[in-house]
A and B are shown apart, each in its own frame.
Chain A
Amino acid sequence: MIQEKFVLKKENLHAFLEALSKDMEVFVPCHNENGATTFLPYNGQEIYTAAQTFYSPKQALNKPSEKEFFFGKKSSSVEVERVKQNGGKMIFGIRPCDTHAVKAFDKLYLEYGEVDPFYREKRDSTLLAALVCTEPCSNGFCHSMGTQEPTGHDLLMVEKADSFYIEAASSKGEELIKKHRGLLNITKFQKPELNFECKKKLDTRNLKEILDKGFFSKVWEEEGKRDLNCTSCTQVCPSCYCFLTLDKFILNTENSERFREWDSCHLQRFTKVAGNHIFRKSRESRLRQFVMHKLSYFQKNNDMMLCIGCGRCISVCPVGIDLTEIAAKIRSEFE
């Protein structure tokens, strides 16, 4: 492993991103056409590192709708073809909390039970260049979730006034640095101690047990009353992964395609079964599913909390539903 630390002058940032873009699709934090902050493929646009992006970088790995299979109808057979996924990606400037969301995906798709080849194909060729936070964000609570340090990243970056401090964190990251050595200078700069406090807090002691006990708490009913079920929280959440599969015929053929699409536990269709029976019909039951999946359920199979403390669901909620508040209320009731 290269021990040296490097510094990338900000005036070289675009040259660096351009050089990277020659080999891969580089997703960078930026403003999109409509003015929201998110991660988009680099095309020379201005980079946004002032704060956490409103949208998470999850579309770099899982798009809202993706083709998984092509089914070609033959006279006496059906050709099943796995659609090749675009490889060679980097998420540049991914925040530490979001790297934990990628870790959650890795655990779910690659470690738990059967490996999902669809995700594996995309993930195998995806690099993470993590940008550590030096200031608390508006609604994040990463310190409570233990996600303030990045994980599974290939490069580690710290932003300074006029430069980025960069070090390799994996062998793939090392190769990258070697390749783009010309744009980087060696530095003696030491990674600064990161000691800021998140504004929000979530007490995670025995949280799973307490929430499981609070399954029938009145809190759900109260919060459910103001829930719009607009699905915004699940859409912006970096670790929300629930998907459905959908077949569509191709116009004027007998051939079809299978898509994987984002689903949301806030929708009634999520628990619909044959005969149109819906298991989670009420608003509160669906809100509870969201919160419980984040803070309790995921741990059962995957040994980590699905909530990574980015606070985006709180920032996006039009009616101000706050998962940390719900957890605190239930704690006060059932601890």
Chain B
Amino acid sequence: MAKKMRAGFYSLSCCEGCELVVFDLEEKLLKALEFVEIVDARLFDGNHPNEKLDIAIVEGGVQSELDKKHLEEIRERSTYLVAFGACATIAGIPGIRNSLPKEMQAKLNSKAIIPVKEKVFPVPAVVKTDFVLQGCPAFTHELLDLLVALYHGKKPVLENIPVCKECKERENPCLLFEGIPCLGPVTYAGCKALCPTERAQCIGCRGFTEDANFEALRKRFRKMDVDERIIHNLFTYFNQNPFKKEGE
């Protein structure tokens, strides 16, 4: 076996849930620790800040100047940087703030305990990001696959595959035919259609695919008589409003 990879977990503005679910890997995590050394992570044993890393796994979005500095510092000393979870990849739940009316944003921001930026930025918007692992919380099997691949020198590529593909592989009934607005057609697959399989609509926690046809899906929702507010909320729950016009 080649040399162990050195990895660290970092949290920006988030609930730290993505780091927590890594423990769901259970015995697989122990196996992974045979080729990955977690050198810097709050929830793990070792805390060695400022060390050089092969892989930095970052959860959370950039809300403050503090987050930004922290992220830039991590980037500086890491070979690969992985945005881990919805907050880091697409700004996620904190990013709802970005879609609110200006007055409400100002009101919210004034109540923050530490000074926050006007908007929440996902990790790739701030520093060069090598890999994104989406989901709320992130999917640990994907992290494991990524670590195995990187260990062998493979770099996975993110493909524009919608949730529907995996949903149909699992032979689920299509929620759109039951009048339930589901973001499956425009959201990145990889979750094995976890929510639709449990008959809950996809709310886009894995981010929108690059070639998504938002207009066609919105038309479909409208045909189902879904309330405009619900449509807006659904599209902006985890993601930035895809219908926003330039300058808005």
Contact = CB atoms under 8 A, between A and B. Distances in A.
Given A225-B216, A251-B31, A268-B211, A232 B168 contact: yes
A229 B212 CA distance: 8
Given A225-B216, A251-B144, A318-B176, A269 B159 contact: yes
Contact of A34 (B32, B173, B184): B173
A225 B161 CA distance: 18
B30 to A, nearest CB: 10
B47 interface: no
Interface in B133-157: 144-145, 148-149, 151-152, 154
Nearest to B154: A249
A273 B184 CA distance: 27
A229 B160 CA distance: 10
Interface string A302-313: 000000000000
Contact of A232 (B32, B161, B174, B199): B174
Contacts of A64: 169
Interface in B94-138: none
Nearest to B166: A64
Interface string B166-190: 0011111110110000001110000
B213 A228 contact: yes
B160 to A, nearest CB: 5
Interface string A23-58: 000000000101110100000000000000011000
A83 interface: no
Given A32-B171, A226-B219, A227-B216, A264 B165 contact: yes
A316 B161 CA distance: 18
Interface in A235-256: 235-236, 248-249, 251-252
A59 B171 contact: yes
Interface residue SS majority, chain B: helix
Contact of B168 (A32, A226, A235, A319): A235
Contacts of B184: 230
A143 to B, nearest CB: 26
Contacts of A251: 28, 31-32, 144, 148
B149 A267 contact: no
A252 B35 contact: yes
Interface residues of B, number: 38
A256 to B, nearest CB: 9
B165 A230 contact: yes
B90 to A, nearest CB: 20
Given A34-B199, A35-B173, A231 B213 contact: no
Interface residues of A, number: 32
Interface in B215-242: 216-217, 219-220
Contacts of A36: 171-173
A225 B168 CA distance: 22
Contact of B162 (A34, A35, A229, A319): A229
B216 A226 contact: yes
A228 B159 contact: no
Contact of A268 (B34, B35, B148, B159): B159
B148, B174, B217: residue with the most chain A Cβ atoms closer than 10 Å:
B174
A119 interface: no
Nearest to B197: A34
Contacts of B148: 248-249, 251
Contacts of A229: 162, 185, 211, 213
A249 B51 CA distance: 29
A335 to B, nearest CB: 29
Contacts of B53: none
Contacts of B161: 231, 267, 269
B57 interface: no
Interface in B11-52: 28, 31-32, 34-35
A37 to B, nearest CB: 9
12 contacts: A34-B173, A59-B171, A64-B169, A228-B216, A229-B211, A231-B165, A235-B165, A248-B148, A264-B165, A267-B165, A283-B211, A318-B177
Interface of A: 32, 34-36, 38, 54-55, 59, 64, 225-232, 235-236, 248-249, 251-252, 262, 264, 267-269, 283, 316, 318-319
What 9 A-B pairs are tightest by C-beta distance, nearest first? A235-B168, A230-B164, A230-B185, A64-B169, A228-B185, A36-B173, A231-B165, A269-B159, A318-B176
Given A228-B162, A318-B176, A318-B185, 19 more contacts: A34-B171, A226-B216, A228-B186, A228-B213, A228-B220, A230-B162, A230-B165, A232-B168, A235-B169, A249-B149, A249-B151, A251-B28, A252-B32, A252-B34, A252-B35, A262-B169, A267-B161, A318-B177, A318-B217
